[in-house]
Structure 1
Amino acid sequence: MKFKVNADLKYKINSESSIILSIHALKTEQKIISEQLLISPETDFKELLSTAEANRLVSLALKPTENLSISYEATVENAFIIKEIEAFSDVNIAKLPGDVLTYLNPSRYCQSDKLYRLANNMFGYKKDDFEKVQALTYWIYLNVEYLSGSTNSETSAYDTVTEQAGVCRDFAHLGIALCRALTIPARYFTGYAYQLVPQDFHACFEAYINGQWLLFDATRLIPLNGMVKIAIGRDAADAAVANIFGDVSFISSVVTCGLLDNDFEPFYQHHENRMAISYS
C-alpha cells in the first residue's frame, strides 16, 4: 500500500539549543518513493542513524528564533505480511538472536520486573506466546480507558496499570512490560497511522514470537496494515519524535497520513483467531 505522510512541527527557540528529530520513515522493508525535509529559517542539520535500531534521526543546531518550522513529507509503500500463526512450542531464551535479547529487559517506561506476578497470574496459563500476547492486548483494550491528556512524559507502564487510563504511548508501554514479564521480547513501534482520528503520530508494540516480530495495538484505533514505520526501541525514550536540549517552546504539530491506493482492505486483529501482521 502507498501512503503520503506529512509532519509539520513548529517551535520557538529561546536560546541556542539542539533538537534531535525522529520523523523520517524508516528505510527497512518499506520503500520510500520520495521524501523532502524543509526547515525555515534555514538551519544547520545532519542526518544520523541510531546505532542500535537504525532509526533515522535529524540533528538540528538552533539559534534563537520566534518561529522554527519543520516540514517532512514522504510517499512510502509500506511493507507488511498478514499471516496465520500456527500453534507452536515457545522458543528457548538461550536460542534467541543477540539483537532480540535486549527487549527482554525492564526499561525506563516498561518496568516488567514490577509486573511479573500480575502478568503470570493473568496470562501465564495460555498455551503459547501468541495466545499470551493476544490475551494481554485484549485485556488492556478492555481495562484501560483511552483518555487524552490523562498522562505525561513521566507516565510508565506501572502507572498505567494502576490508573487504568492513558494514550497510545501508555497502551504500548503496558503491552511491552507485560510481554517482558512473561519472558516474551517486546519493543516500542511508532509511525504514521492511516485512519487515526484525530491525525497524529501513533505508538503500538511488536512482540517477538516464534522467530518473528508481530505487531499489536491495544488501542484498536487504526487498521494495522495502515502504518508507516518511523522508529522502534525499548520504549518511547528510544523513539521520541523530538528530543530537546535547551530552552525551546513547542508551538504546534500537524500530522497526516493519506492513502494513495484504491484497494485498501483494513486489517484489525481479533482476539479470537490467530491472524497477525508483521512489518519486519
Structure 2
Amino acid sequence: MKFRLGCDLAYQVTEETVFIFNVEVAKLPRHIGLTETLSVSPSIEPLRYVAPGNGNRYLRYLASPGPFSLSYSAEVDLDVYRADPTTVRETDIRDLPLDALPYLLPSRFVPSDRLADFALKEFGDFPRGHMRVSAICSWIYQNIDYVRGSSDSETTATEILIQRAGVCRDFAHLGIAFCRALGIPARLVSCYAFGLHPADFHAVFEAYLDGRWWLFDGTRQAALDGLVRIGVGRDAAEIAFATPFGNMEPGPIAIRIERADGQPEPEPRTTEAISTEDPAASGGAL
C-alpha cells in the first residue's frame, strides 16, 4: 500500500538552540520506492547521522533566535509481511542473537524487573508466542484508559500500571515491560500511523519472535498494516521526534498520512501477525 505522509513543525527560538529531529521515514527493504523532501526556514544545512544497528535517521540544526520551522514530506510503498499468529513462536533465550540484549533489559521508562511478578501471574500460562503478546495488548486495552494529558514525558510503565491511564507511548512502554519481564525482547517504535485520528506521531512496540520483529499496538487506534516506521529504541528517550537544547517555544505541529491512491481507510486488521522488517535485517542489526 502506497502512502503520502509528512509533518510540519514550528518553533519560536528565544536564544540559540540545537534541535535534533527524528522524523524521516526509516530506510527499510519493505519501505519501497521512498521519495522525500525536507526543508527548514530559515535555510540551514543539517548535520545528518544514521545510528548504526537500528538505522534511526537523525538531523541536527543550530537555530538562531527567531521563528524556525521544519517541513518533511514523503511517499512510500509499504510492503508488510503477514503470517498466521498461531504459527509465530517465542525464541528461547539461548537462541536469541546477542544484539537483542538491550531489548531484554530494563530501561529508563521500562523498569521491567519491577513488573516481573505481575507479568508472570497474568501472562505466564498463555501459549508462548505471538498469541501471548496479543494477550498482553488485550489486557492493556481493557485495563488502561487512553486519556490525553494523563501522563507526561517522565511517566514510566510502572506508574501507568498504577494510575491505569496514559497515551500511546505509555501503552507501548507497558507492553514492552511485560514482554521483557517474560524474556521476550521488545522495543518502542515511532511511526506515521494511517487511520489514527487525530493524526499524530504514534508510538507502538515490536516484539522479537521466531527470528523476526512483529508489530503490536495496545491502543488499537490504527491498522498495523498502515504503520510507517520512523525510529526504534529501548524506550521513548531514544526516539523523540524533536529534542531541543536551548530556549524556545513550540508552535503548531501538523502530521499527515494518506493513501497515495486516494482510497478510503480500510478496517484495521486484527487477525494477522504483521511485520515490516525482514529477518536478515533484524538478526544482525537490532
Pair 1:177 & 2:177 matched: yes
Partner of 1:276 in structure 2?
Answer: 273
Partner of 1:165 in structure 2?
Answer: 165
Between the aligned partners of 1:54 and 1:88, the Cα distance in structure 2 is 25
Between the aligned partners of 2:58 and 2:245, the Cα distance in structure 1 is 15
Unaligned runs of 5+ in 2: 278-286
Between the aligned partners of 1:266 and 1:161, the Cα distance in structure 2 is 29
Give 3-state SS (helix, strand or coil) of 1:68's partner.
Answer: strand
Kept in 2, the 8 Å contact 1:193–1:228? The answer is: yes
Between the aligned partners of 1:50 and 1:125, the Cα distance in structure 2 is 38
Kept in 2, the 8 Å contact 1:224–1:266? The answer is: no
Q: Mapping of 1:1-280 within 5 angstroms?
A: 1-29=1-29, 30-65=31-66, 67-87=67-87, 90-261=90-261, 262=263, 265-270=266-271, 275-280=272-277
Alignment length (residue pairs): 275
Give 3-state SS (helix, strand or coil) of 1:135's partner.
Answer: helix
Could you give the per-residue CA deviations for residues 165-206 of structure 1, whole angstroms, max 9, x where no partner exists?
011111000000010001100010111111111011111000
Q: Sort the Cα spacing of 1:131 and 1:86 in 2 relative to 1 into closer, same or farther, 3 A.
A: closer
Bigger shift: residues 192-201 or 38-47: 38-47
Q: In structure 1, give the amino acid aligned to 2:7.
A: A
Q: In structure 2, give the amino acid aligned to 1:110.
A: V
CA-based RMSD of the aligned residues comes to 1.5
Q: Could you tell me the TM-score, scaled by structure 2's length?
A: 0.92
Could you give the per-residue CA deviations for residues 65-106 of structure 1, whole angstroms, max 9, x where no partner exists?
1x1110000111112112103457642212211222210011
Bigger shift: residues 77-86 or 7-16: 77-86
Between the aligned partners of 2:264 and 2:77, the Cα distance in structure 1 is 14
Tell me by how many angstroms 1:4 deviates: 0.6
Between the aligned partners of 2:89 and 2:75, the Cα distance in structure 1 is 40
Between the aligned partners of 1:211 and 1:240, the Cα distance in structure 2 is 27
Give 3-state SS (helix, strand or coil) of 1:169's partner.
Answer: helix
Between the aligned partners of 1:201 and 1:45, the Cα distance in structure 2 is 22
Between the aligned partners of 1:220 and 1:149, the Cα distance in structure 2 is 19
Tell me by how many angstroms 1:131 deviates: 2.3
Tell me by how many angstroms 1:263 deviates: 8.6
Q: In structure 2, give the amino acid aligned to 1:135.
A: A
Partner of 2:282 in structure 1?
Answer: none
Structure 1 moving runs of 4+ over 6 Å: none
Between the aligned partners of 1:263 and 1:11, the Cα distance in structure 2 is 33
Kept in 2, the 8 Å contact 1:129–1:184? The answer is: no
Kept in 1, the 8 Å contact 2:109–2:235? The answer is: yes
Tell me by how many angstroms 1:6 deviates: 1.5
Could you give the per-residue CA deviations for residues 139-160 of structure 1, whole angstroms, max 9, x where no partner exists?
0000100101111000111111
Kept in 2, the 8 Å contact 1:220–1:268? The answer is: no
Between the aligned partners of 1:19 and 1:79, the Cα distance in structure 2 is 32
Kept in 2, the 8 Å contact 1:32–1:74? The answer is: no
Unaligned runs of 5+ in 1: none
State the percentage of identical aligned residues: 39
